Structure 1
């Protein structure tokens, strides 16, 4: 029996948390300098499984260390501080060990979104087309398949894994400085204290990332940031899987939301003045 909330939305409760079937929306709820993807809104509901074992992508893998030809490093402006930019460069064959097809529950296939998190971020063709239009040279796409976890039957071969080639690494000499306190109401690498503080307060860094349509954080290929204009464009297309976080802290996180905000401080200050 399908359970619905008072608004008539389908709800599945897992481990004490409600997942709500997304209703497509073209609205951007909150203006921000950039937006970050930090979780899947459907993965736990779909009960995703990997078709095969695979190594986690990262610099510890053979051939992918700091001096790897697959990782081209670029200097950032000096006032950005302890951040480095790298551009991934590799053939599909060289990326293949880190990718796998997936299996899901067919009876919950209607929960599958246009952007979702499998082994890496997965996009439907319409999303892929927009990304290629906005930032063609800085993204890789790898075709993948979705199978029925019970029967092994093919459900879909339309999805592609998306790997943003532009990666930012934070390499501080000192971690967890006592003067760096910031509370982000969403989980994941973007919310780690030192990184969150930098992304909130380092104005030189913020000026740099505001110019990037898409970028990824360190070696994690599922932690992706979108510039303000790009996020607006994606939402204007009505794509699902990009649900803005409305929680005020980790304690009241909504598991059917997965987009965090790093505010535009100037816009926030203007708004505050308007309310005085």
Structure 2
């Protein structure tokens, strides 16, 4: 009797997963409006020494009109995407190997935990000395931040798979490859996608420091230049742009997660 019930519920779950959340979007908009209103009120009252929203908006239009903002966005996106994608592509197989093979886990985990304790920003001096001052060290630092977050989540996903399902599959005659493809990977997918989202956040968080390495363009570089002249509107434009780009990419990953894990119960 349980199988028909599960089958009947599946279309409902898929419909809920693919349906737009208008209530959530509405609340997001309300939160945005309230946040801007509070920011404007605080700057108007002189309670904080920050630029008001109109000044930031004018600076945004100015930087967009002269092409500087587009150049900075392109440079920063190229660095973040390169480091992030390389990190995730390498982290997922390494995490699977660590979770599936105890020998590999014992060999790799000490190095993994060691490097996790070292902030990626602390690697910058070493990266400059060994890789120069071109794009390679910038991408490497971002890669390291993304890799460490993603590999731990993947590894945790593999070791968290219900052993009962694996043992049942073996009793039914399934080979290791079949178990890995049909049980381990699907059950690990939510962990992997959470790790990918955390890795994306780590990549953006590392961007500003990575662009300390002799950059000539980029949102982080623009913030550092604006700091020298106490140009707060430019700093705010770069901060807000990083936040918007990061949020858009995170929402894209969240949508991918919903489509790949429609079998999960969601609140």
TM superposition score category, shorter chain reference: under 0.3
Higher strand share: 1
> Structure 1 or 2: larger helix share?
2
Normalised to the residue count of structure 1, the TM-score between the two structures is 0.22
What is the TM-score of this pair, normalised by structure 2? 0.22
